[in-house]
Copies of this chain bind each other. A is one copy, B any other.
Amino acid sequence: MKELEQKILTDGAVYPGNILKVSNFLNHQLDADFLMKIGEEIARLFANDNITKIVTIEASGIAIAIAAAAHMHIPAVFAKKNQSTNIAGDVYTSMIYSYTHQNQYVAVIAKEFLSADDRVLIVDDFLARGNALRGLIDIVGQSGATVAGISTAIEKGFQGGGDALRAEGYRVESLAIVDSMTDDSVTFRAQ
Protein backbone atom coordinates (compact mmCIF):
# COMPACT_ATOMS: atom_id res chain seq x y z
CA MET A 1 0.00 0.00 0.00
CA LYS A 2 1.99 2.94 -1.37
CA GLU A 3 0.04 5.44 0.71
CA LEU A 4 1.12 3.71 3.94
CA GLU A 5 4.77 3.60 2.84
CA GLN A 6 4.57 7.31 2.08
CA LYS A 7 3.01 8.05 5.47
CA ILE A 8 5.74 6.09 7.26
CA LEU A 9 8.33 8.20 5.43
CA THR A 10 6.65 11.53 6.15
CA ASP A 11 5.17 10.94 9.63
CA GLY A 12 7.29 8.10 11.08
CA ALA A 13 10.64 8.28 12.85
CA VAL A 14 13.41 5.76 13.48
CA TYR A 15 14.84 5.47 17.01
CA PRO A 16 17.83 3.47 18.30
CA GLY A 17 17.10 -0.22 18.81
CA ASN A 18 15.27 -0.70 15.50
CA ILE A 19 12.26 1.20 16.81
CA LEU A 20 9.98 2.61 14.12
CA LYS A 21 7.82 5.24 15.78
CA VAL A 22 4.43 5.74 14.13
CA SER A 23 2.58 6.84 17.24
CA ASN A 24 1.24 9.95 15.53
CA PHE A 25 -1.09 7.96 13.27
CA LEU A 26 -1.12 4.24 14.12
CA ASN A 27 -0.76 3.33 17.77
CA HIS A 28 -1.23 6.24 20.17
CA GLN A 29 -2.77 9.00 18.13
CA LEU A 30 -4.97 7.36 15.50
CA ASP A 31 -5.52 8.92 12.07
CA ALA A 32 -9.09 7.66 11.75
CA ASP A 33 -9.55 8.51 8.07
CA PHE A 34 -6.28 6.80 7.21
CA LEU A 35 -7.06 3.76 9.38
CA MET A 36 -10.35 3.36 7.52
CA LYS A 37 -8.35 3.27 4.28
CA ILE A 38 -6.12 0.57 5.77
CA GLY A 39 -9.27 -1.36 6.69
CA GLU A 40 -10.61 -0.96 3.16
CA GLU A 41 -7.37 -2.32 1.69
CA ILE A 42 -7.40 -5.34 4.05
CA ALA A 43 -11.04 -5.99 3.06
CA ARG A 44 -10.03 -5.82 -0.62
CA LEU A 45 -7.15 -8.27 -0.15
CA PHE A 46 -9.37 -10.87 1.52
CA ALA A 47 -12.61 -10.17 -0.36
CA ASN A 48 -12.80 -13.69 -1.81
CA ASP A 49 -11.83 -15.66 1.29
CA ASN A 50 -15.18 -15.98 3.05
CA ILE A 51 -13.83 -14.47 6.26
CA THR A 52 -16.40 -14.67 9.07
CA LYS A 53 -14.49 -13.02 11.91
CA ILE A 54 -11.50 -10.79 12.60
CA VAL A 55 -9.28 -11.55 15.59
CA THR A 56 -6.76 -9.11 17.06
CA ILE A 57 -5.16 -8.27 20.42
CA GLU A 58 -5.53 -5.17 22.56
CA ALA A 59 -4.75 -2.35 22.41
CA SER A 60 -3.53 -0.91 19.12
CA GLY A 61 -4.77 -3.86 17.04
CA ILE A 62 -8.33 -2.80 17.86
CA ALA A 63 -8.30 0.27 15.61
CA ILE A 64 -7.26 -1.70 12.53
CA ALA A 65 -9.62 -4.55 13.42
CA ILE A 66 -12.62 -2.22 13.56
CA ALA A 67 -11.64 -0.52 10.32
CA ALA A 68 -11.31 -3.83 8.46
CA ALA A 69 -14.40 -5.39 10.07
CA ALA A 70 -16.50 -2.33 9.18
CA HIS A 71 -15.55 -2.75 5.53
CA MET A 72 -16.13 -6.52 5.62
CA HIS A 73 -19.36 -6.26 7.65
CA ILE A 74 -18.29 -8.96 10.09
CA PRO A 75 -17.53 -8.92 13.84
CA ALA A 76 -14.08 -8.45 15.33
CA VAL A 77 -12.85 -10.00 18.59
CA PHE A 78 -9.89 -8.68 20.53
CA ALA A 79 -7.83 -10.86 22.83
CA LYS A 80 -7.31 -9.34 26.26
CA LYS A 81 -3.87 -9.25 27.82
CA ASN A 82 -3.69 -10.66 31.30
CA GLN A 83 -0.70 -10.70 33.63
CA SER A 84 -1.98 -13.73 35.52
CA THR A 85 -2.47 -17.27 34.27
CA ASN A 86 -5.17 -17.66 36.91
CA ILE A 87 -8.13 -16.75 34.73
CA ALA A 88 -11.68 -17.75 35.49
CA GLY A 89 -14.32 -18.61 32.94
CA ASP A 90 -14.75 -20.37 29.69
CA VAL A 91 -11.80 -18.98 27.77
CA TYR A 92 -9.02 -19.88 25.37
CA THR A 93 -5.59 -18.68 26.49
CA SER A 94 -2.10 -18.52 25.07
CA MET A 95 1.14 -17.34 26.68
CA ILE A 96 2.96 -14.66 24.68
CA TYR A 97 6.43 -13.26 25.20
CA SER A 98 6.85 -9.57 24.31
CA TYR A 99 10.33 -8.60 23.14
CA THR A 100 9.26 -4.95 23.16
CA HIS A 101 8.35 -4.98 26.85
CA GLN A 102 10.54 -7.94 27.86
CA ASN A 103 7.72 -9.65 29.68
CA GLN A 104 5.20 -12.44 29.31
CA TYR A 105 1.45 -12.11 29.28
CA VAL A 106 -1.54 -14.31 28.64
CA ALA A 107 -3.83 -13.57 25.69
CA VAL A 108 -7.43 -14.46 26.47
CA ILE A 109 -10.53 -14.86 24.28
CA ALA A 110 -13.90 -16.07 25.58
CA LYS A 111 -14.82 -19.41 23.99
CA GLU A 112 -18.25 -18.15 22.98
CA PHE A 113 -16.72 -15.85 20.36
CA LEU A 114 -14.92 -18.46 18.25
CA SER A 115 -16.38 -21.59 16.74
CA ALA A 116 -15.15 -24.37 14.47
CA ASP A 117 -17.17 -22.87 11.59
CA ASP A 118 -15.28 -19.58 11.68
CA ARG A 119 -12.82 -18.54 8.99
CA VAL A 120 -10.64 -16.06 10.84
CA LEU A 121 -8.52 -13.18 9.61
CA ILE A 122 -5.94 -12.24 12.24
CA VAL A 123 -4.90 -8.57 12.14
CA ASP A 124 -2.47 -6.40 14.08
CA ASP A 125 -0.70 -3.07 13.69
CA PHE A 126 2.85 -4.47 13.74
CA LEU A 127 4.54 -7.72 12.78
CA ALA A 128 8.12 -8.14 14.00
CA ARG A 129 9.07 -11.57 15.36
CA GLY A 130 5.44 -12.65 15.17
CA ASN A 131 5.01 -13.75 18.78
CA ALA A 132 1.67 -12.04 19.30
CA LEU A 133 0.33 -13.46 16.02
CA ARG A 134 1.47 -16.96 17.01
CA GLY A 135 -0.45 -16.63 20.26
CA LEU A 136 -3.58 -15.68 18.32
CA ILE A 137 -3.02 -18.56 15.85
CA ASP A 138 -2.78 -20.87 18.87
CA ILE A 139 -6.08 -19.58 20.26
CA VAL A 140 -7.88 -19.83 16.92
CA GLY A 141 -6.58 -23.38 16.59
CA GLN A 142 -7.89 -24.33 20.04
CA SER A 143 -11.38 -23.30 18.91
CA GLY A 144 -11.23 -25.46 15.79
CA ALA A 145 -11.67 -22.41 13.57
CA THR A 146 -9.56 -21.89 10.44
CA VAL A 147 -6.88 -19.21 10.14
CA ALA A 148 -7.75 -17.98 6.65
CA GLY A 149 -5.12 -15.26 6.66
CA ILE A 150 -3.07 -12.72 8.56
CA SER A 151 -2.85 -9.03 7.81
CA THR A 152 -0.78 -6.36 9.49
CA ALA A 153 -0.16 -2.72 8.74
CA ILE A 154 3.63 -2.63 9.15
CA GLU A 155 5.92 -5.66 9.00
CA LYS A 156 9.54 -5.39 10.03
CA GLY A 157 10.75 -7.75 7.34
CA PHE A 158 14.29 -7.86 8.70
CA GLN A 159 13.06 -9.48 11.94
CA GLY A 160 11.80 -12.52 10.04
CA GLY A 161 8.49 -13.20 11.78
CA GLY A 162 6.38 -12.70 8.66
CA ASP A 163 8.53 -14.82 6.36
CA ALA A 164 8.61 -17.65 8.92
CA LEU A 165 4.80 -17.67 8.97
CA ARG A 166 4.70 -17.61 5.15
CA ALA A 167 7.10 -20.56 5.04
CA GLU A 168 4.64 -22.47 7.24
CA GLY A 169 1.91 -21.86 4.68
CA TYR A 170 0.05 -18.90 6.17
CA ARG A 171 -1.05 -16.15 3.86
CA VAL A 172 0.44 -13.02 5.42
CA GLU A 173 -0.45 -9.67 3.86
CA SER A 174 1.40 -6.73 5.35
CA LEU A 175 0.52 -3.37 3.84
CA ALA A 176 4.09 -2.12 4.19
CA ILE A 177 7.17 -4.31 4.73
CA VAL A 178 10.25 -2.55 6.05
CA ASP A 179 13.29 -4.49 4.88
CA SER A 180 15.84 -2.21 6.49
CA MET A 181 16.04 1.06 8.30
CA THR A 182 18.69 3.47 9.50
CA ASP A 183 18.48 6.81 11.26
CA ASP A 184 17.79 8.58 8.00
CA SER A 185 16.25 6.02 5.67
CA VAL A 186 13.59 3.33 5.54
CA THR A 187 13.68 0.75 2.72
CA PHE A 188 10.50 -1.10 1.78
CA ARG A 189 10.21 -4.53 0.17
CA ALA A 190 8.69 -4.38 -3.31
CA GLN A 191 5.22 -5.98 -3.26
Contacts and interface: CB of A to CB of B under 8 A. Distances in A.
For chain A, the bracket of interface size reads 20 to 34
Q: Which 3 A-B pairs have the closest CB atoms?
A: A32-B69, A58-B59, A32-B70
A107 interface: no
Interface string A42-63: 0000000000000000111011
A2 interface: no
A23 B110 contact: yes
Interface string A15-49: 00000000111001111110110000000000000
A77 B25 CA distance: 9
Interface string A143-167: 0000000000000000000000000
Nearest to A79: B28
6 contacts: A28-B77, A30-B77, A32-B73, A32-B75, A60-B62, A66-B67
Given A74-B32, A75-B29, A80 B59 contact: yes
Contacts of A28: 77-78, 80, 109-110, 113
Contacts of A33: 70, 73
A64 to B, nearest CB: 9
A30 B70 CA distance: 10
A29 B76 contact: yes
Contacts of A109: 28
B113 A77 contact: no
Contacts of A35: 66, 70
A24 B76 CA distance: 10
A29 B77 CA distance: 4
